Chains A and B, each alone.
Chain A
């Protein structure tokens, strides 16, 4: 396969469980395709060179920078964005609820990246040392809230999840 400048290729992308067939140019970043082509603007774009972490999404279950990935590279992959956390009529995801409860955000610009970075680790976060947890989120920049609330929020999410499950049963 070769794709010349200006030409598009059809790729298959499963985003938050929904299969999309979309035409992309080779130079289109995954972050832009999620926002502009698919219309999911929850993934934020900060620095566009991998430093700030705002654009972090899950690619096949693992956090990665959508600004450092061409959409065409992810042909066939499963992407999870912040919109995939909470179903529309189901309230907030425990992690989102915890960010609200622990004051883990102010302006919210960095929040989608923090949430997607924390998603694979929040269940074991209560057992992680401060150093481990800080390292795990070291790739994310927040310029207003400060990190103490964010750490508490990630630590608190598992408890919220447990109490919700308890309420159901």
Chain B
């Protein structure tokens, strides 16, 4: 349970990180909070030859910031700082609601938001939330920067769409609009453990019609995002919501059996949690619309 030997690099600027990655490529892994990477190293599931420690970068922001319709987080922003951020509570309420479900407080004190996105664990909350919010990430390398929409970030389990010489310098969370409502639901064996199933919902109200997008975690190789057919006001008086969610669960999710839950149980959770999330998000979109 000890990591294999590696060469440790401690760059002081983002440019130095670019240069190291340009030289080392796939031989190197980025170390920020380490709360997903170090367990993997301890168990020797991975033994990269080089680790690039971001923790001593100069002039990095410690908390979220507001930028052009987005709340942005840099590479050293800890999850606990996002959890305590008033800016996030006011502007990205879905992220604020979800932080409580991300691991345990002691893990959130070290773990970073950008790291969780880069790690691309299909059972993690933040990738699914970023996807359902249609957020984006900024990747950089020695040759420049590019912005990647959340939908194109995740390629497979623990696999993001970055090149070997790129790293994530920012995650951008869209500020919520007045007519939107959100909800996050998950079921885990123990508070803070990986969820057996989880779902984030984004609802938008236009007249009598509500459009809801769902982002599931733990139900496929990547976060699964889908939009329900528009729901009229009467849908919420009947089982139409449950039926619409059931069709999505049946057609688009691909859960697997493991020691913790069967496919049947996970499917049941996806239907129940999905419907609850749709109803809660839609109710909040209603209230939001009336307020404005």
Contact = CB atoms under 8 A, between A and B. Distances in A.
Interface in A5-64: 5-6, 25-27, 29, 32, 48-50, 53, 56, 59, 62-64
Interface string A89-124: 000000000000000000000000000010000000
Nearest to A28: B2
Contacts, number: 104
Nearest to A48: B1
Interface string B23-38: 0000000010011001
A7 B127 CA distance: 37
A154 to B, nearest CB: 14
A65 B110 contact: yes
B106 A139 contact: yes
B100 interface: yes
A49 B39 contact: yes
A47 B38 CA distance: 13
B115 to A, nearest CB: 12
Interface in A108-144: 117, 134-136, 138-139
Interface residues of A, number: 34
B239 to A, nearest CB: 31
Contact of A3 (B4, B7, B43, B109): B7
A50 B35 contact: yes
Majority-rule SS of B interface residues: loop
A122 to B, nearest CB: 14
Interface string B1-28: 1111111111000000000000000000
Contacts of B6: 5, 26-27
A82 B192 CA distance: 24
Given A49-B39, A64-B110, A6 B5 contact: yes
A148 interface: no
A134 B192 CA distance: 11
Interface of B: 1-10, 31, 34-35, 38-39, 42-43, 51, 53, 55-56, 80, 100, 103-107, 109-110, 190-192
Interface of A: 1-6, 25-27, 29, 32, 48-50, 53, 56, 59, 62-65, 67-70, 72-73, 75, 117, 134-136, 138-139
Leading 7 A-B pairs by shortest Cβ distance: A139-B104, A5-B5, A26-B8, A49-B39, A138-B191, A48-B1, A1-B10
Given A4-B7, A27-B4, 14 more contacts: A26-B6, A49-B42, A50-B39, A62-B80, A63-B106, A64-B106, A64-B110, A65-B106, A67-B38, A68-B42, A70-B34, A72-B8, A72-B53, A135-B100
